[in-house]
Amino acid sequence: MGFRWSLGILAGVVMVDVCPGAARAAEPANPSASAQARAVLAYFGSLEGRKDRRLISGQFDGFGPGASLKACRAAHEKTGRWPAIIGLDYADFSPRGIETKHVNKVAIEYARAGGLVALSAHIPNPANPRGGGLRDNGVDLRTLLAPGETHDRWMKELDLLADGLAELQDAGVVVLWRPFHEMNGGWFWWGARPPETFIPVWRHMFDHFTRRRRINNLLWVYGPNHGERTAAYYGGDHYVDLVGLDAYTDFIDPGHIRGYADVARLPKPFGFTEFGPHGPENPPGDYDYRRFRDGVEAHFPRTVYFLSWNDRWGLGSNLHTREMLSHPWVVNRDDLPVGLGTRP
Could you give the C-alpha distances from 342 to 39, 85, 231, in angstroms and in order? 10, 13, 31
Is 297 part of the annotated catalytic residue set?
no
Q: Can you list the positions of beta strands (E) in 179-269?
A: 218-222, 242-248
Known catalytic membership, residue 323: no
**Cβ distance 278 to 284 under 8 Å?**
yes
* Contact (Cβ atoms closer than 8 angstroms) between residue 277 and residue 318: yes
How would you write 245-289 as a 3-class SS string?
Answer: EEEECCCCCCCCCCCHHHHHCCCCCEEEEEEECCCCCCCCCCCEC
Q: Is 290 exposed, middle or buried (0-12, 13-18, 19+ CB in 10 A)?
A: middle
Active-site residue identified among 77, 182, 228, 323: 182
342 bridge partner residues: 173
Among 343, 250, 329, which Cα is nearest to 288's?
250
User: Of 48, 149, 228, 274, which is the active-site residue?
Assistant: 274
Which of the residues are catalytic? 182, 274
